[in-house]
Structure 1
Amino acid sequence: MKLPALFWAFFRVGIFGFGGGPSMIPLVHAEVVKRHEWLTDEEFADILAIGNTLPGPIATKMPGYIGYRVGGIAGCIIAVLAVCGPMIVAMIAMLGVFSRYRDVAWINGMSQAVIPVVMVMMGQLTWDFMEKSKASLGWLVAIAIALVAGGLIYWLGVHPGIIIGAILVAALVAPKRTPKAQTKRESA
């Protein structure tokens, strides 16, 4: 019975995901981590990181993988169709309305008003990830990684996928550190 739940979860994401793929990420997180508990926060962060390194829109990569993980091939197809269906219908309808009424001031203002809402949603997701980074790496390392990544992306023009890939390789190569509190408990 997970397939109907999978459909409705991603249908809600498709309906309310104004602003494209990045604005859908907090909605996907709310559905798959908080509401249905199909993934943990760490698994979601891993899927998001890997999804950002691959070509194509994140709005279809994440539902495809999560759908496959929850319901196999049928789950993958259902999740992608559920998230894309509302977007296709809404895009056709909205383009028709915008082309007819594009010069009306309140229509133009309405489309601009969505931008701050998406910004707040992305800020909240960023804060949540910083909290998780702090818990696993500590504030100094988390902030250092964020600053270096931001500098490479914004000032040097390095593609985010390259940075994420480099961090994944570094995590695979570097030995796993055990937190001090856990080491003390295990030795006692």
Structure 2
Amino acid sequence: MSKLTVDSQYAQLAWSMSKTGVLGYGGGPSVIPLIRHEAVIKYKWMDDDEFGEILAIANALPGPIATKMAAYLGYRQKGVLGSIVAVLTHILPSAIAMICLLSFVEYLSNSAVIQGMIVAVMPVISVMLGVMAYEFVKRAYKGLGKIMVVVFCAISFVMLQLIPLHPAIVIVLFLAYGAVHFKLVDRIKAKNKNNKGETP
């Protein structure tokens, strides 16, 4: 691999992660669609299935989700140094901006312009999250089937909203089920097949 190619990969990591850090208004959830766009659609570092798996694991681990995703993407592309580059370029622009604007925090927090910017960007973030959720549901439908998707969505709603459990616990439970899902399906199919074969 040429030096130019290696340098371009670091540049891609730095540029993509800096954009997600600067444009991710609203915290972790609003950054995820931006990271997905960079990793899956633009640079094709992974497919949606892998991104969904990493997102689930990142949700189950402590700490800011966007930073964990940046660290993973950097490590996946260029190892430890790539992970450092990705994390630093993700957090530094916002951190520097916060430090520089610290003296204006009181003014900006009451600024009609800033409040208007936040309100205006919320619909965009909502649509981005909705599109990403739709893509995940579509892939879940292909893998699990319509009935299981509806059942799992209902179970998730009950666990998260009505009980409520911590999201990390729900994610771990579903990850545990996912690890044995296809084995259970194969056993059920084999059992049904045997029962049909025994029926006179």
TM-score range, shorter chain: 0.7 to 0.9
**How has the CA–CA distance of structure 1 residues 113 and 59 changed in structure 2, closer, same or farther, with 3 Å as cutoff?**
same
CA distance, structure 2, for counterparts of residue 148 and residue 132 of structure 1: 18
**How has the CA–CA distance of structure 1 residues 103 and 37 changed in structure 2, closer, same or farther, with 3 Å as cutoff?**
closer
Residue 29 of structure 1, aligned match among 36, 46, 58? 36
Residue 43 of structure 1, aligned match among 43, 50, 58? 50
The yes-or-no answer on 1:138 pairing with 2:159 is no
CA distance, structure 2, for counterparts of residue 61 and residue 150 of structure 1: 25
The yes-or-no answer on 1:91 pairing with 2:126 is no
Partner in structure 2 of residue 15 of structure 1: 22
**Counterpart of 1:82 in structure 2: which amino acid?**
T
Which structure has the greater CA radius of gyration?
Answer: 2
- Stretches of structure 1 lacking an aligned partner (at least 5 in a row): 181-188
**Counterpart of 1:137 in structure 2: which amino acid?**
L
After the TM superposition, which of the residue ranges 121-130 and 169-178 deviates more from structure 2? 169-178
- Stretches of structure 2 lacking an aligned partner (at least 5 in a row): 1-5, 190-200
Residue 66 of structure 1, aligned match among 60, 73, 90? 73
After the TM superposition, which of the residue ranges 27-36 and 108-117 deviates more from structure 2? 108-117
Q: CA deviation at 1:95?
A: 4.8
Q: CA RMSD in A?
A: 2.0
**How has the CA–CA distance of structure 1 residues 62 and 101 changed in structure 2, closer, same or farther, with 3 Å as cutoff?**
closer
**Counterpart of 1:83 in structure 2: which amino acid?**
H
**How has the CA–CA distance of structure 1 residues 126 and 103 changed in structure 2, closer, same or farther, with 3 Å as cutoff?**
same
CA distance, structure 2, for counterparts of residue 94 and residue 127 of structure 1: 37
Over the matched positions of the two proteins, sequence identity in percent amounts to: 38
CA distance, structure 2, for counterparts of residue 106 and residue 40 of structure 1: 38
Compute the TM-score of the two structures, normalised by the length of structure 2. 0.82
**How has the CA–CA distance of structure 1 residues 157 and 43 changed in structure 2, closer, same or farther, with 3 Å as cutoff?**
same
**How has the CA–CA distance of structure 1 residues 104 and 42 changed in structure 2, closer, same or farther, with 3 Å as cutoff?**
closer
Compute the TM-score of the two structures, normalised by the length of structure 1. 0.87
Q: Do the aligned partners of 1:19 and 1:114 also contact (CA within 8 Å) in 2?
A: no
CA distance, structure 2, for counterparts of residue 91 and residue 40 of structure 1: 34
**How has the CA–CA distance of structure 1 residues 172 and 23 changed in structure 2, closer, same or farther, with 3 Å as cutoff?**
same
**How has the CA–CA distance of structure 1 residues 166 and 13 changed in structure 2, closer, same or farther, with 3 Å as cutoff?**
same
Q: CA deviation at 1:104?
A: 4.0
